[in-house]
Amino acid sequence: MKIDPSGISNSPLIPKQPVQPNSTMGKATTDGRLQDSHGYTSSPELTKLIEQVKEQPDIREAHIQNVMERLKQGYYSRPEVAMKTAEAMLNSLD
């Protein structure tokens, strides 16, 4: 879905042509906003939201706590769980 000044469109957001990185992509303007190779400059609100997302930790503390609790309880020591864990690790290498 795409939102433009004329309304909402169901057309996909996928570009028709592959985007090739170049030296003008992602340049910051003098006021800190981002500008892409097509001359689009992000709004101050979008720039602020992007910065807030970048500040978020990569590690989800609640997930880590859940895994630690399962480790304490021996959940990962069960053969079927150990097999699934090993398969997931191997599949992540693909």
Q: How many CA atoms lie within 13 A of 32 on its CB side?
A: 8
- Supply the pLDDT for residue 82: 92
Q: What is the pLDDT of residue 1?
A: 47
Per the DSSP assignment, residues forming a β-bridge with 27 are 35
pLDDT at 67: 92
Q: Phi first, then psi: what are they for 45, rounded to 5°?
A: -65, -45
Per-block mean pLDDT, blocks of 10 residues, the chain (94 long)? 56 51 52 66 86 84 92 94 93 87
- Is the whole-model pTM more than 0.95? no
Look at residue 65 in the predicted model and tell me its pLDDT. Answer: 93
